[in-house]
Amino acid sequence: MSASGHSLRLILLDQSAPGGHAINDLDHMDICLPGSDEGVEAEGLADLGAQASLFEELALETSDRLLAPIESPAGERPVARVQRDHAQPSQQNRAVVDGEAVNPEAKSPAQFVDQHGASMTPVYQPMLATPHPQPFTSEEWWFDLKWDGFRCLTYIDGERVQLRSRNGNDLAHRFPELRSIRASEPVVLDGEIVAMGEDGKPSFFLLGYQPPQLVVFDLLHRDRSLVSIPLEERWDQLNAVELFGPITRSQPTSTEGEALFEVVKASGLEGVVAKRSGSKYLPGRRSPDWRKIVARSQLNAVVGGYLRGTRGSFGSLLLGLYEGDRLLVAGSAGSGLDNRSIAELWPVLQSLERPTSPFAEHADFMGEPVWVEPRLVARIEYREWTPVRRLRAPVFKGIVHDLDPADVTWANEAPDL
Enumerate the active-site residues: 146
Whether the CB-CB separation of 400 and 380 falls below 8 Å is answered with: no
User: How far is CA 273 from its chain centroid?
Assistant: 16
**What DSSP string runs through 339-392?**
HHHHHHHHHHHHHTB-SS---SS----SS-EEEEEEEEEEEEE-SEE-TTS-EE
Q: Which residues contact 17 (CB under 8 A, 6 or more apart)?
A: none
CA distances from 183 to 180, 222, 239, 246 (A): 10, 11, 12, 11
How many residues can be counted in the chain?
417
Q: ∠262-413-276 over CA atoms, to 5°?
A: 50
CB atoms within 10 A of CB 317: 27
CB atoms within 10 A of CB 281: 25
H-run or E-run covering 265: helix 257-266
The dihedral through the CA atoms of 357, 359, 364, 370 has a sign that is: negative
Whether the CB-CB separation of 241 and 187 falls below 8 Å is answered with: yes
